[in-house]
Structure 1
């Protein structure tokens, strides 16, 4: 299994909420209320996601993928990249102290 290399990134990956806010809402001429109605979720849920105060859950990824005609993996991968970046920044020094093992 391979893992994405996030150590070389100089900036935080784009949050899925920013993608929705800056690209999808504009391209599809949607409002927060319109998006919430189309997804079948509360306006508060959508607003928190757009303001990057909420992560994309697997359930939301399924809803977004169905609405916009892409894949749930698109949304989950975008969220995963943000989560890994945030975690790597939070424990950077601790991880640097770990000595990698040599294969026998």
Structure 2
């Protein structure tokens, strides 16, 4: 499916779809709902993908700081 077709189906601008695909724009709740409806996938799927991506980026950006955090309790 092309970005153009997905944009038409969801009512989102094609540029937004393109920016999401390139990792330059986040999937908002509104976008998640629209993608869910158009593609028949649970809306939480899209939010979880965004959350996983955000966590990975944050881990990379803060790796040095996180390595200095002291564990207070053992699980």
Question: More relative contact order in 1 or in 2 (CA 8 Å, sep 6+)?
Answer: 1
Residue number among 49, 54, 62 corresponding to 1:83 in the alignment: 54
So what's the TM-score if we normalise by structure 2?
Answer: 0.86
In structure 1, the partner of 2:73 is: 102
The aligned runs of 1:32-43 (5 Å cut-off) are 32-43=3-14
So what's the TM-score if we normalise by structure 1?
Answer: 0.65
Q: Name the one with the larger helix percent.
A: 2
Q: Runs of 4+ in structure 1 displaced over 3 angstroms?
A: none
In structure 1, the partner of 2:16 is: 45
- SS at 2:23 equivalent: coil
The Cα shift of 1:58 comes to 1.0
Q: What CA RMSD, in Å, does the superposition of the two structures yield over aligned residues?
A: 1.5
Query: Residues of 2 paired with 1:42 and 1:52: CA distance?
Result: 16
Unaligned runs of 5+ in 2: none
Query: Deviations along 1:26-74, whole A, 9 cap, x unmatched?
Result: xxxxx22221111011111112112221121111111111111111111
Unaligned runs of 5+ in 1: 1-24, 26-30
Residues matched between the structures, number: 74
Q: 1:47 to 1:102 in 2, by over 3 A?
A: closer
